[in-house]
């Protein structure tokens, strides 16, 4: 059995975790309040909830409880928010690790949290011992936050030493940058991303500015709230892990995802889109047809990244459909995308679509916890696109705009100035790497293999 441990770091990680664990509980017939089975739910044959929950008993012969395979690291107030939330009795006390608040905001201080780092590794060892075989760690953080950048990197380094072979996937939120009031977030992000390139197997990019745009345009909100942005990210995660948590068709494990999506180890930043997405009150005459869902999936508005995806070329693309869907319609939808020529693949991967269908009902539980319409069918697209280079390019530009070295010298003690230079150079190199890979031809590939 291949299980996963979920690590939720800082405000973003902790807020999001409360939303996705609530939905996962409901999807697996578990009470989010205390982890007890919901007796009104019929057990499903293809349920693999053990992948993310472990079974526990508080007293011998007592009722079974389901405990998330999860660890939380955050400031005391963030940890307290879990105890006051809708999953208040779901997580054991030892899985909640608090940090001093004076570390907030800056990479270097959070990177040095040795005690919390040891506690986290210790808790992960315990979780690993309670599992058959951990396949991977999923980390949730904002790269702009102090904890989300510094602590996450320190943890990833330790995980590399202690759990080298285990898959590591980051769900990395990119904040909306306000460089005049929060310049530290730019430096945190540069330091975080430079190191994560070598330490993660996969990085799912979740861009807050795109999530905010989806809240206003698709969910028709007057303004975007973190709650709604986290709801969209929760649906993304639910669809992404559906094939792992049930008997699924495609991307049934993190390693399968890596082999489907990552051509070179450090070219592992994944862009994504999801369709359809409507507010709960929307009146629909009918659910969208599979072809319309597929076309919508490749519209810029459906992407969870605010970059022009069509400026780049895809190196890989996986579409996972969910719900009431038949394979013939999927074939038709994908051929419409191919003939429309809106999306381009690199020369060495000309027809790289991978498709799968998960027949589980689409988010049956949504109305209970979020203000988003439940639909009968939908899809999630995961892509590896050279357009990702817009992000490192943007960070390099912002670093110049804020005169980062001056801020770095003043507030980022414990890290050498040369380390910042190296991180910046790594991001510049990343821009070139993506451009070169995009331009590679089949002949170049052959030559590289011969050497």
> Does residue 232 contact residue 214 with C-beta atoms inside 8 Å?
yes
Residue 45 has, within 13 A of its CA and on its CB side, a CA count of 1
Q: For 16-36, give the DSSP string.
A: HHHHHHHHHHHHTTB-TTT--
Q: Which is nearer to ligand GTP, 192 or 423 (CB)?
A: 192
- The answer to whether residue 348 forms part of the interface with ligand GTP (CB under 6 A) is no
What is the rounded end-to-end Cα distance, in angstroms, of the chain? 39
Q: Name which position in 68, 136, 146, 378 contacts ligand GTP (CB under 6 A).
A: 146
Distances (CA, A) of 142 to 116, 176, 350: 18, 11, 34
Gap between the Cα atoms of 109 and 400, Å rounded = 23
Distances (CA, A) of 215 to 229, 258, 365: 7, 29, 20
Shortest spacing between CB 419 and ligand GTP, in angstroms: 19
Choose the contact partner of 49 out of ligand GTP, Mg ion, none; CB within 5 to 8 A by kind: none
Shortest spacing between CB 149 and ligand GTP, in angstroms: 7
Q: Name which position in 37, 92, 104, 160 contacts ligand GTP (CB under 6 A).
A: 104
Shortest spacing between CB 395 and ligand GTP, in angstroms: 15
Q: Which is nearer to Mg ion, 40 or 84 (CB)?
A: 84
Q: Which is nearer to Mg ion, 76 or 89 (CB)?
A: 76
Q: Which is nearer to Mg ion, 10 or 378 (CB)?
A: 10
Interacting span for ligand GTP (CB under 6 A) from 83-91, 171-179, 253-261, 389-397: 171-179
Site for ligand GTP (CB under 6 A): how many residues? Answer: 21
Shortest spacing between CB 101 and Mg ion, in angstroms: 8
Interacting span for ligand GTP (CB under 6 A) from 4-12, 90-98, 336-344, 348-356: 4-12
Q: Name which position in 108, 142, 167, 251 contacts ligand GTP (CB under 6 A).
A: 142
**Eight-class DSSP state of 72:** E
Interacting span for ligand GTP (CB under 6 A) from 9-17, 132-140, 344-352, 430-438: 9-17
Q: Is 265 exposed, middle or buried (0-12, 13-18, 19+ CB in 10 A)?
A: exposed
Q: Which is nearer to ligand GTP, 66 or 107 (CB)?
A: 107
Strand ranges across the sheet with 269-275:
96-99, 70-75, 3-9, 134-142, 167-174, 202-207, 269-275, 377-385, 314-323, 353-358
User: Looking at 36, 256, 440, 445, which residue is catalytic?
Assistant: 256
Greatest pairwise CA separation for the chain in angstroms:
66
> Does residue 21 contact residue 68 with C-beta atoms inside 8 Å?
yes
Shortest spacing between CB 416 and ligand GTP, in angstroms: 21
Residue 398 phi/psi, 5-degree rounding, is: -65, -35
Q: Name which position in 145, 170, 356, 383 contacts ligand GTP (CB under 6 A).
A: 145
Q: Which residues contact 309 (CB under 8 A, 6 or more apart)?
A: 271, 300, 303, 343, 383, 385, 387
- The answer to whether residue 12 forms part of the interface with ligand GTP (CB under 6 A) is yes
Residue 236 phi/psi, 5-degree rounding, is: -55, -50
H-type alpha helices, 382-416: 390-401, 404-411
Gap between the Cα atoms of 407 and 134, Å rounded = 41
Q: Name which position in 120, 166, 172, 208 contacts ligand GTP (CB under 6 A).
A: 208
Q: Name which position in 35, 85, 148, 248 contacts ligand GTP (CB under 6 A).
A: 148
Q: Which is nearer to ligand GTP, 91 or 321 (CB)?
A: 91
Q: Which is nearer to ligand GTP, 10 or 170 (CB)?
A: 10
Gap between the Cα atoms of 344 and 102, Å rounded = 48
Residue 298 phi/psi, 5-degree rounding, is: -100, 10
- The answer to whether residue 156 forms part of the interface with ligand GTP (CB under 6 A) is no
276 preceded by a cis bond (ω within 30 of 0): yes
Choose the contact partner of 144 out of ligand GTP, Mg ion, none; CB within 5 to 8 A by kind: ligand GTP
- The answer to whether residue 11 forms part of the interface with Mg ion (CB under 5 A) is yes
Mark whether 102 is an active-site residue: no
Shortest spacing between CB 379 and ligand GTP, in angstroms: 22
Q: Which is nearer to ligand GTP, 106 or 437 (CB)?
A: 106
- The answer to whether residue 306 forms part of the interface with ligand GTP (CB under 6 A) is no
Shortest spacing between CB 300 and ligand GTP, in angstroms: 20
Shortest spacing between CB 172 and ligand GTP, in angstroms: 11
Distances (CA, A) of 151 to 128, 191, 447: 21, 11, 41
Interacting span for ligand GTP (CB under 6 A) from 40-48, 170-178, 294-302, 378-386: 170-178
Q: Which residues bind ligand GTP (CB under 6 A)?
A: 10-12, 15-16, 104-105, 110, 142, 144-148, 173, 175-176, 208, 226, 229-230
- Please identify every residue annotated as catalytic: 256
In the complex, the residues that contact Mg ion under the rule CB under 5 A are 10-11
């Amino acid at each position: 059995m291949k299980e996963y441990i979920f690590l939720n770091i800082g405000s973003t990680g902790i807020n999001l975790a409360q939303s996705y664990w609530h939905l996962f509980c409901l999807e697996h017939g578990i009470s989010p309040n205390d982890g007890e089975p919901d007796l009104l739910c019929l057990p499903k044959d293809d349920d693999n909830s053990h992948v993310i929950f472990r079974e526990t008993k508080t007293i011998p012969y007592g009722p079974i409880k389901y405990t998330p395979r999860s660890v939380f690291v955050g400031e005391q107030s963030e940890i307290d928010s879990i105890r006051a939330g809708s999953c208040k009795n779901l997580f054991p006390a030892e899985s909640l690790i608090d940090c001093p608040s004076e570390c907030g905001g800056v990479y270097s201080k959070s990177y040095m949290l040795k005690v919390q780092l040891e506690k986290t590794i210790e808790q992960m060892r315990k979780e690993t011992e309670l599992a058959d075989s951990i396949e991977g760690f999923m980390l949730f953080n904002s790269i702009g936050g102090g904890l989300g950048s510094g602590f996450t990197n320190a943890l990833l380094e330790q995980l590399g030493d202690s759990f080298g072979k285990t898959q590591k996937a980051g769900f990395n939120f990119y904040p909306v940058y306000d460089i005049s009031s929060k310049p530290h977030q730019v430096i945190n992000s540069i330091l975080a991303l430079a190191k994560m390139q070598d330490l993660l197997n996969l990085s799912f990019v979740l861009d807050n500015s795109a999530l905010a745009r989806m809240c206003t345009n698709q969910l028709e909100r007057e303004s975007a709230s973190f709650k709604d942005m986290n709801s969209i990210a929760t649906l993304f995660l639910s669809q992404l892990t559906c094939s792992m948590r049930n008997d699924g068709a495609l991307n049934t494990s993190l390693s399968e995802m890596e082999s489907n999506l990552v051509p070179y180890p450090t070219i592992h930043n994944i862009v994504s889109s999801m369709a359809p997405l409507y507010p709960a009150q929307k009146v629909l005459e009918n659910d969208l047809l599979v072809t319309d869902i597929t076309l919508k999936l490749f519209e810029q508005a459906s992407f969870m990244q605010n970059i022009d995806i069509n400026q780049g070329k895809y190196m890989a693309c996986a579409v996972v459909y969910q719900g009431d869907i038949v394979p013939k319609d999927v074939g038709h939808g994908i051929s419409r995308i191919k003939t429309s020529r809106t999306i381009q693949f690199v020369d060495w991967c000309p027809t790289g679509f991978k498709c799968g269908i998960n027949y589980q009902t689409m988010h049956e539980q949504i109305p209970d916890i979020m203000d988003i319409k439940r639909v009968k069918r939908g899809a999630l697209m995961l892509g590896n696109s050279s357009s990702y280079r817009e992000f490192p390019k943007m960070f390099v530009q912002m670093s110049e705009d804020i005169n980062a070295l001056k801020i770095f010298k003043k507030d980022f003690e414990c890290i050498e100035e040369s380390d910042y230079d190296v991180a910046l150079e790594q991001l510049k190199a990343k821009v070139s790497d993506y451009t070169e890979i995009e331009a590679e031809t089949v002949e170049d590939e052959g030559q590289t293999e011969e050497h």
